[in-house]
Amino acid sequence: MTPEDTTISTDFIREAVKEDLASGRYNYVRTRLPPEPNGYLHIGHAKAFLIDYLVAKDFGGELNLRFDDTNPAKEETEFVEAIKEDAHWLGIEWGDREFYASDYFDDLYDWAVRLIKAGKAYVDDQTPEEVSRNRGTLTEPGVNSPYRERSVEENLNLLERMKNGEFPDGSRILRAKIDMASGNINLRDPAMYRIIHEPPHHRTGTTWCIYPMYDWSHGQNDSMEKITHSFCDVGYEAHRPLYEWFLEQLGEFMPRQIEFARLNLSYTVLSKRFLRRMVDEGLVSGWDDPRMPTLRGMRRRGYTPEAIGEFIEKIGIAKNYNMVDIALLEATVRSDLNIRAERRMVVLNPLKVVITNYPEGHTELLEAVNNPEDESAGTRQVPFSRELYIEREDFREDPPRKYFRLGPDREVRLRYGYFIKYEHHINDENGEVIEVHCTYDPETRGGYAPDGRRVKGTLHWVSAQHAVDAEVRLYDRLFTIENPLNSEEGKDFTDYINPDSLQILTECKAEPALTDVQPGYRCQFERRGYFCADIDSTADALVFNRTIALRDTWAKIRKGN
RNA sequence: AGGGGAGUGGUGCAAUGGCAGCACAGCAGUCUUUGGAACUGUUGAUCAUGGUUCGAAUCCGUGCUCCCCUGCCA
């Protein structure tokens, strides 16, 4: 595509890039994707990643993946691999353009020396507490460090010795010399290097014991890589003057930083820190718990990368604070899976049905459509016999108004099977229905009545004799309130965890076509929702996760009554 | 309070001085061998106030509300 191409969607970021190309500020586009390898990716990262990737792609540019590994205390190789895997899964490609902030430690050090020589940086011996106290407050200016006017020679010497490991952690920092009275606190002589001896860095080992701060690394790395556009969270807006100050002082290539609003999703939290807490406190089973908004969790739950991409496109890009309704995410997967997922019949809460006029010991195969939305998906054979399972909720002794399913004196259709008519039912000693006896109409094979009579309800079913046992895990929203972080006084977000966010069903009966499915297999269970075989699933013990339930009009009617 | 940013239906995003539109949610209906899907119709918004203008969501003034910033985190 060319910059003039009007088919490029017109969010304010793409508009800005287009303008930069038109004005000649840049004559190519190169973005960067800068994860810190200190945790797993969540759907909020997916938004940022996709912006970096797709903007570059739309303008025929390049994407640099660059791990922001400037703090050895928090970062691990394990996360590097996990992030790459998740990003690939999302469909993001960066070819061999894979970099690390730590690739630039030597060059960055040289740039720091240049800044000292220009009188724009100094080594400060104040304690962390003194630095903090002297920074001032939002309304009062800070006060200059007593070490601010050291000579260039002394600063050079001290920085060198910091690098050589002569000083303990926290004893000194290198600071930019800007303005302790600035209204923008980021400009009050921000720290550039701090001393960290332990632990060793995941890539550079013990080579370094001084590490750059974000502000003294990110923009410099962008510049070194000749990044044209550096997209980030609005939280970094106040850092932009600093980003530009450093590069101006150095006279180096100037990328353009553009900020956009991070994604907030209702009924969940999108913050590495809080997600980590849930994992650490055992509130969920891990980073890949299917209830987690992490990419790994969502993948395990059965979300497709296409659905996530679609969702990100739908929510758009702006600078407003936002709280996106999770219903939009749910609607998006539903619509994605509706088109691609094959249908199967699985009874979640089985109730036995005996077809009294069906020959004992007989089995026949009935043809079922795999996907009504996709003819090329073909058909399959489903075994039918005298004893079947239907959903417990599909029979009522005393059917309420507008209930279209099985009940006394009612006739319903078994999907792709026959019409069956109620005869009688059996209760156990507790009054619980344990068996329903029906007759079938042999003329309605396949579910059509030659005499044209109609039935209100169509039920899914599984032949008892041919059923495969399965465990099914039903998931619901993780939190009971829209914004768990905006909690009442004295309450923690964990106080709002939905106690019913996981329900495990162990007596489920699946049609035999599901016997051999592998973990990751996705399909729709007719009338129930979209499901995905879990990584715990084996040939001997099938386990399915519910990705999302089908839209349920009946539930709404019931609720309204 | 100092600095920075943002205010459009319930939610998210458009409209770039010229008919306030799209999606999700909601409501009503059609169709239906998934109470699914599809299709049709429909309710509902420019933070307030003053100004500029033939004309303002858009430009200007004032006020209000919300978000971010006082790590040797990113």
Query: pLDDT for A538-551, tens place per residue?
Result: 999 999 999 999 99
What's the pLDDT score for residue A490? 72
Nucleic acid strand B within 7 Å of A20 CB? no
Rounded CA-CA distance A549/A6 in Å is 38
Q: What angle do CA A324, A330, A333 make, to 5 degrees?
A: 125
CA closest to C1' of B70 belongs to A137
Residues 6+ apart with CB under 8 A from A287: A39, A40, A275, A279, A294, A296, A297
Range name among A95-99, A213-217, A245-249, A485-489 with the lowest pLDDT average: A485-489
Distance from CA(A6) to C1'(B19), angstroms, rounded:
24
Across the range A256-280, mean pLDDT stands at: 95
Rounded CA-CA distance A236/A38 in Å is 19
What's the pLDDT score for residue A177? 98
Half-sphere exposure of A406 (CA within 13 A, CB side): 30
Residue A384 contacts residue A425 (beta carbons within 8 Å) = no
What's the whole-number average pLDDT of chain A?
95
Distance from CA(A267) to C1'(B38), angstroms, rounded:
30
Classify A199 as helix, strand or coil: coil
Q: Which of A57, A226, A262, A421 is catalytic?
A: A262
Across the range A218-230, mean pLDDT stands at: 98
Nucleic acid strand B within 7 Å of A527 CB? yes
Nucleic acid strand B within 7 Å of A145 CB? no
> Is residue A560 over pLDDT 80?
no
Q: What is the DSSP secondary structure assignment for residue A90, as one 8-state letter? A: H
What's the pLDDT score for residue A407? 97
Nucleic acid strand B within 7 Å of A252 CB? no
Question: Any catalytic annotation for residue A330?
Answer: no
Across the range A73-99, mean pLDDT stands at: 96
pLDDT bracket for residue A8 (50, 70, 90): low
Residue A174 contacts residue A127 (beta carbons within 8 Å) = no
- The residue among A129, A232, A248 whose CA lies nearest residue A187 is A248
Question: Any catalytic annotation for residue A262?
Answer: yes
Q: Which nucleotides of B are covered by protein (CB under 7 A)?
A: 1-8, 10-16, 23-27, 33-38, 66-74
What's the pLDDT score for residue A557? 85
A105-117 helix and A240-250 helix, angle to the nearest 10 degrees? 80
Q: Return the structure tokens found at A422.
A: 């109620």
Residue A262 contacts residue A234 (beta carbons within 8 Å) = yes
User: C1' nearest to CA of A328: which nucleotide?
Assistant: B24
CA gyration radius, chain A: 31
Classify A58 as helix, strand or coil: helix
> Is residue A2 over pLDDT 90?
no
Distance from CA(A112) to C1'(B12), angstroms, rounded:
43
pLDDT bracket for residue A558 (50, 70, 90): confident
Rounded CA-CA distance A444/A455 in Å is 11
Residues 6+ apart with CB under 8 A from A242: A176, A178, A184, A186, A187, A190, A215, A219
User: C1' nearest to CA of A70: which nucleotide?
Assistant: B74
Amino acid at A111: W
User: C1' nearest to CA of A482: which nucleotide?
Assistant: B11
Q: What is the DSSP secondary structure assignment for residue A229, as one 8-state letter? A: E
Classify A55 as helix, strand or coil: helix
Distance from CA(A259) to C1'(B7), angstroms, rounded:
17
Rounded CA-CA distance A99/A33 in Å is 10
Across the range A312-338, mean pLDDT stands at: 95
Nucleic acid strand B within 7 Å of A184 CB? yes
What's the pLDDT score for residue A261? 96
Is ipTM > 0.90 here?
A: yes
User: C1' nearest to CA of A394: which nucleotide?
Assistant: B35
Judged on CB neighbours under 10 Å (0-12, 13-18, 19+), A519 is: middle
Across the range A430-454, mean pLDDT stands at: 96
> Is residue A218 over pLDDT 60?
yes
Nucleic acid strand B within 7 Å of A134 CB? no
Distance from CA(A374) to C1'(B73), angstroms, rounded:
50
What's the pLDDT score for residue A527? 97
> Is residue A4 over pLDDT 60?
no
- In tens, the pLDDT along A123-160 reads 999 999 999 999 999 999 999 999 999 999 999 999 99
Distance from CA(A265) to C1'(B8), angstroms, rounded:
21
Amino acid at A58: D
Q: Return the structure tokens found at A62.
A: 């390049």
Distance from CA(A336) to C1'(B51), angstroms, rounded:
51
Nucleic acid strand B within 7 Å of A135 CB? yes
- The residue among A193, A142, A184 whose CA lies nearest residue A165 is A193
Across the range A384-388, mean pLDDT stands at: 98
Nucleic acid strand B within 7 Å of A415 CB? yes
What are the two backbone dihedrals, phi and then psi, of residue A129, each rounded to the nearest 5 degrees? -65, -40
Nucleic acid strand B within 7 Å of A181 CB? no
Helix (H) or strand (E) run with residue A531 in it: strand A529-533
- In tens, the pLDDT along A15-45 reads 999 999 999 999 999 999 999 999 999 999 9
Q: What is the DSSP secondary structure assignment for residue A400, as one 8-state letter? A: P
Q: What is the DSSP secondary structure assignment for residue A550, as one 8-state letter? A: P
- The residue among A465, A461, A179, A213 whose CA lies nearest residue A345 is A461
Nucleic acid strand B within 7 Å of A396 CB? no
Rounded CA-CA distance A460/A382 in Å is 12
User: C1' nearest to CA of A553: which nucleotide?
Assistant: B35
Residues 6+ apart with CB under 8 A from A421: A410, A411, A438, A439, A440, A441
Q: What are the start-end ranges of the E strands in A401-521?
A: 411-414, 419-427, 433-440, 458-459, 462-463, 468-475, 502-510
Q: Which of residues 447-486 of A touch strand B (CB under 7 A)?
A: 447-448, 454, 457-458, 460
Q: Which of residues 204-243 of A touch strand B (CB under 7 A)?
A: 211-215, 218, 234-239
Share of chain A above pLDDT 70, in %: 98
Other beta carbons less than 10 A from residue A556's beta carbon: 10
Nucleic acid strand B within 7 Å of A167 CB? no
Q: Which of A114, A226, A272, A276 is catalytic?
A: A272
Q: What angle do CA A368, A370, A372 make, to 5 degrees?
A: 100
Higher pLDDT, A76 or A445: A445
Question: Any catalytic annotation for residue A36?
Answer: yes
Residue A418 contacts residue A385 (beta carbons within 8 Å) = no
Across the range A217-222, mean pLDDT stands at: 98
A326-340 helix and A305-315 helix, angle to the nearest 10 degrees? 140
> Is residue A491 over pLDDT 90?
no
What's the pLDDT score for residue A561? 57
Nucleic acid strand B within 7 Å of A379 CB? no
